[in-house]
Structure 1
Amino acid sequence: MSTGREASREEWADRIAALDQPQQPRKEPITVGRIVTTALRMVETEGFDALTMRRVAAALGTGPASLYAHVRNKAELDDLLIGALSRNVVLPAPDPARWREQVLGVLRQLRDEFLRYPGISRAALSAPPTNLDTLRLTEGLLAILLAGGVAPRVAAWTVDAALLYVSAYTFEASLRAGGVDREEVLARLRMLPASRFPHTVAHAEDLNSGGAHERFDFALELMVRGIA
């Protein structure tokens, strides 16, 4: 029959033997922050269409059920992603003398955030925002417009139209990820019969002009100037 002393030695031997066993790495807990970071990385490398709850779960080394404990569904994840990008936008203190420039600056920042993640602006188009970071952006734009003397309703509708344009512009850009062959477009326009399309043929160069974000700036400046 073993004695207490012998049992104690056996336990001691087991502890010593365990020292040579490889230690299993601790699993990092699933959090909303990790889910959002993983989802954004996936969109950045593969595009928004590749994003699913199942794929995010797999990238985190877990099952979809673990994600649903933190994020209710794909729609909520989309809202969180737009919130995360909105949080990166720096909002200036409203300056009545520079309000137009400030509005354009905020919208350009948001444009660049969306362009970094191809197709993600579709999430902004799909449902009204409920994320506080997204609403912070709306609040900031309203503050700038109101400080510039813009009437409340006009300011509210301008924010809505401007954010809609940013989303549409960046979404279209994601659809043209391979770029547009402007020379080919121009050649096709010039092939049109001038008798039926006189203005299109005559101004084909203008219809096909504008590089980088020139058209983006033109449209938003037109919108902002129209407010006054």
Structure 2
Amino acid sequence: MTAPQEPILVWERPEPPSRPAPSPLSRERIVRAAIDLADRDGLDAVSLRKVAAALDAGPMRLYGYLSTKEELLDLMVDEVYGEIVPSGPAGDDWRVVLGDLSRRTRQAALRHEWFADLLGSRPRLGPNALAFLEASLACMGEAPVGTVMRVVGTVNAYVLGAVRREITELRAERATGMNEQEWQIASGPYLTRMLATGRYPALARVIEGEDANPDFEEGLDCVLDGVAPLVSGGR
């Protein structure tokens, strides 16, 4: 019985020979056009047909460079990871490196809002995504593997949640035409009446606090402080 043939992933699949006419194509041009579409009109606007139209090419020509829309999304995500990974050595101070990667991830997601929608699913295996993972893990030095995975996983989970919340708020602001302050003013009277019932004392205490809405940096510091004992204790 013949063993099943190992699939060749898009990262190792050669591109077709370049043709100057009617429109030159490459994976790089295809991915760039798809990212431009997603940045402008959202992820739902990305299809092989629309990308081909943006490149003045027939849709069937794109299948020489990728097989499915899922492969196109993988290539797009990896292109953004290329914006996140520093060009020089990441360093070996785990707190500095993980903090820098977290900030760079947030900045990239705010430039490409669709990026956050594609994070947190199956592992990304493109070269830039692997470089991101390598930098995240390498800065932990010789810490036990269990510690490394808990620390990196916790920090990444915070970044993903914080970025998705921030992007959701931006999208809501565009959809409603109200920024956060305007929304708070509009909903304030209702919330005041509900808190006056006395049924939500913990919520009232938080809302009335001076720092009821910590920003990304404050939250990141809390997470890094929280995992620090794991690193120093080697657990």
TM range, smaller chain: 0.7 to 0.9
- Residue of 156, 160, 184 corresponding to 1:163: 156
Offset from partner CA, 1:41-74 (integer Å, 9 cap, x none): 1111112222222211111122322222212212
% identity of equivalent residues: 24
**Cα offset, 1:126, TM superposition:** 3.1
Shift of 1:36: 0.8
Q: Pick closer, same or farther for the CA change 1:54–1:170 going to 2, 3 Å.
A: farther
Deviations for 1:171-196, whole angstroms, at most 9, x for unmatched residues?
Answer: 33333222432334554432214421
Q: Which amino acid aligns with 1:74?
A: K
How has the CA–CA distance of structure 1 residues 72 and 160 changed in structure 2, closer, same or farther, with 3 Å as cutoff?
farther
2:215 counterpart residue number: 215
Cα deviation, residue 163, structure 1: 2.8
Q: Give CA deviations for 1:105-149 in whole Å, capped at 9, x if unaligned.
A: 111011111111122221223321111110110100111122xx6
Match of 1:195 in 2: 198
Q: Is residue 119–residue 170 contact of structure 1 (8 Å, CA) maintained in 2?
A: no
What letter matches 1:222 in structure 2?
C
> How do 1:79-94 residues align onto structure 2 when only pairs under 5 Å count?
79-91=74-86, 93=89
1:42 maps to 37
Q: TM-score, normalised by structure 2?
A: 0.73
Paired residues in the alignment total 198
Aligned-pair CA distance for 1:94: 5.1
Q: Distance in 2 between matches of 1:206 and 1:199?
A: 11
Q: Runs of 5+ in structure 2 lacking a partner?
A: 1-19, 174-178, 229-235
Consecutive unaligned residues of structure 1, counting only runs of 5 or more, are: 1-24
Summarize the Cα distance change of 1:186–1:219 in structure 2 as closer, same or farther, 3 Å threshold.
farther
Cα distance in 2 between the residues matched to 1:207 and 1:75: 45
CA distance in 2, matches of 1:187, 1:158: 42
Q: Which amino acid aligns with 1:60?
A: L
- CA-to-aligned-CA distance 1:11-30 (integer Å, 9 cap, x gap): xxxxxxxxxxxxxx943321
Change (3 A) 1:120 1:101: same
Which residue of structure 2 lines up, in the alignment, with residue 154 of structure 1? 147
Corresponding letter in the other structure for 1:189: L
**Match runs of 1:59-138 below 5 Å:** 59-91=54-86, 93=89, 95-96=91-92, 98-138=93-133
Residues 84-107 of structure 1, C-alpha deviations (whole Å, 9 max, x = no match):
1111124363545x4312211111
Q: Which moved more, 1:172-181 or 1:26-35?
A: 172-181
* Partner SS state of residue 140, structure 2: helix
Query: How far does residue 207 in structure 1 lie from its aligned partner after superposition?
Result: 9.2
Moved more, 191-200 or 162-171: 162-171
Counterpart amino acid of residue 93 in structure 1: P
Counterpart among 49, 54, 61 of residue 54 in structure 1: 49
Name which one, 1 or 2, has greater alpha-carbon Rg.
Answer: 1
